[in-house]
Amino acid sequence: LVGSEMCIRDRSGSDQHLHGGCGEGQGGKLTWAGQAWAKGTLLPQEVEQDDALADARLLGLELGSDDLLPGESGAVWREHQAAVEAFLSISTQWRVTGMADGKLFASGLDYGAVRTGLKLAGIKITKRLWAQIRMIEIGARRAMNGTT
């Protein structure tokens, strides 16, 4: 998804939590991206920058308004754009199981298909990018299975 715009900020809770319910630490923003993808809210609505720069400062990051991508109130920063774009290129490659109650359970991405999809998309996978894709997968799986 070249040139797409992704979400940037969220402050749904206190000043200490950038995105309530998405976990803490480096992976929190990426799992949020996976959840937003699964809920259909990842792609842009409008820019909301009012607290995004303050959120970055809270984490010790020096970002300017040029570092923000327009979008719905969310939590993906420009540094995660490559991971989100890579995930979007393989986001149809899920292993899903039908449950006895008729519901579907997403167990995770099909890594064989993911490898092929990323190769066909011309995306070079590094250890860091793979770890970021996995964090997005965790968030998406939680949202798809209703465990967020």
pLDDT digits 0-9 by tens, 18-69: 333 334 455 677 888 888 888 887 765 444 445 667 777 777 777 776 676 6
- Name the average pLDDT for the chain: 75
| Average pLDDT over every residue of 84-98 | 94
The reported pLDDT for the residue numbered 57 is 75
Highest mean pLDDT among 4-8, 33-37, 71-75, 104-108: 104-108
| Average pLDDT over every residue of 63-90 | 76
Please count the CA atoms within 13 angstroms of the CA of 76 that sit on its side-chain side: 32
The reported pLDDT for the residue numbered 42 is 76
Q: 120-145 pLDDT, tens per residue?
A: 999 999 999 999 999 999 999 999 99
CA dist 122 and 22 (Å) reads 30
DSSP H helical segments within 46-126, as ranges?
Answer: 52-58, 81-89, 111-120
The reported pLDDT for the residue numbered 20 is 35
Pairing of strands 94-98, 104-109: antiparallel
In the chain, pLDDT over 90 holds for what percent of residues?
A: 42
